[in-house]
């Protein structure tokens, strides 16, 4: 069975999803290579919202950022969210970012299809141990 969360198998709704990056935290080294407050990790979220149904989902993570002493340094006080988002997407690369968007697309696709989906406990699972929260789970 093919993995539904890969770029090779793209959900039909992907073109109707608007993706938004949000930077929530930064960590930095007080000094590195002669510079002050050098960012070394970025906490981020990537949210997808289906423009047709408003169904949404998000992914969150922490991206390691490597400072290149040969590149132009941006002072911590001069950072913008767009600059840091560029660092995150460059750190991960286009393929990984596209895979994250595809994964969000599948999550939203299944949320949209929720009314046509029946969720059941497999016969080998004790019903008292089965997930009984909302479907889809709100933290996915």
Global pTM exceeds 0.85: no
Q: What is the pLDDT of residues 112-126, one digit of tens each?
A: 876 565 667 788 888
82-104 pLDDT, tens digit per residue, is 999 999 999 999 999 999 999 99
Beginning with the edge strand found earlier in the chain, give each strand of the sheet holding 35-50 in spatial order.
17-32, 35-50, 56-64
DSSP string computed for 6-63: STTS--TTGGGEEEEEEEEEEEEEEEETTEEEEEEEEEEEEEEEETTT--EEEEEEEE
Q: How deeply is 19 buried, as exposed, middle or buried, from its count of CB atoms within 10 A (0-12, 13-18, 19+)?
A: middle
């Amino acid at each position: 069975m093919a993995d539904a969360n890969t770029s090779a198998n793209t959900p039909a709704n992907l073109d109707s999803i608007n993706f938004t990056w949000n930077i929530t935290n930064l960590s930095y080294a007080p000094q590195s290579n002669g510079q002050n407050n050098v960012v070394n990790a970025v906490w981020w979220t990537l949210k997808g919202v289906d423009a047709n149904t408003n169904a949404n989902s998000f992914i969150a993570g922490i991206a390691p950022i490597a400072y290149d002493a040969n590149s132009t340094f941006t002072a911590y006080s001069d950072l913008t969210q767009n600059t840091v988002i560029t660092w995150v997407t460059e750190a991960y690369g286009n393929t990984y970012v596209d895979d994250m968007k595809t994964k969000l697309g599948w999550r939203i696709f299944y949320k949209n299809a929720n009314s046509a989906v029946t969720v059941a406990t497999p016969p080998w699972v004790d019903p008292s141990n089965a997930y009984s929260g909302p479907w889809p789970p709100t933290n996915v």
